[in-house]
Amino acid sequence: MSLDGVYEQDNIFAKILRGELPCARVFEDEHVFAFMDAFPQARGHVLLIPKHSHARNLLEEEPEKLAAVILGVQRVARAVRAALEPEGIFVFQTNGAPAGQSVFHLHFHILPRAGGPPQFYAPPAADMDELKALALQIAAKIS
């Protein structure tokens, strides 16, 4: 799926929100719902989703709703830290299938990380002139 599309009411996270599928609930308030990932990438992998949204990704969410969502992410990340005492916490969010998104309901991953190298590769340094040209191209589209 691309960045554009129609929200599907029967996605797995919508079903979890409606109570149609089970989950291991971590936290809930009026804005967000957090639960354990059924296919964890690390012990303690938590997912957090907005409760009153039909945004498929971050780009579609209403800005006024994002404040409550990111506060929920911070609150749960702090709880993961207190409960599991990881060496680090990886918070990420993907947009579109090419970026790794598999459920098209806005969501954030909160993963405790410990020891070992990060799961990212270190590419060679980019050309500064190319970076400056890209920066100008992107900056011109900021509204």
Taking CA atoms, 79 is separated from 73, 83, 86, 132, in Å, by 10, 6, 11, 39
Residue tagged active-site, from 45, 54, 105, 107? 107
What gap in Å lies between CA 91 and CA 112, rounded to an integer?
9
Asked if 31 is an active-site residue, the reply is no
Within 1-143, strands assigned E span: 25-28, 32-36, 46-50, 88-92, 108-113
- Per the CB < 8 A criterion, the answer to whether 42 and 112 are in contact is yes
What gap in Å lies between CA 60 and CA 88, rounded to an integer?
29
Cα–Cα–Cα angle for 74, 77, 82, nearest 5°? Answer: 125
What gap in Å lies between CA 83 and CA 105, rounded to an integer?
27
Catalytic (active-site) positions: 107
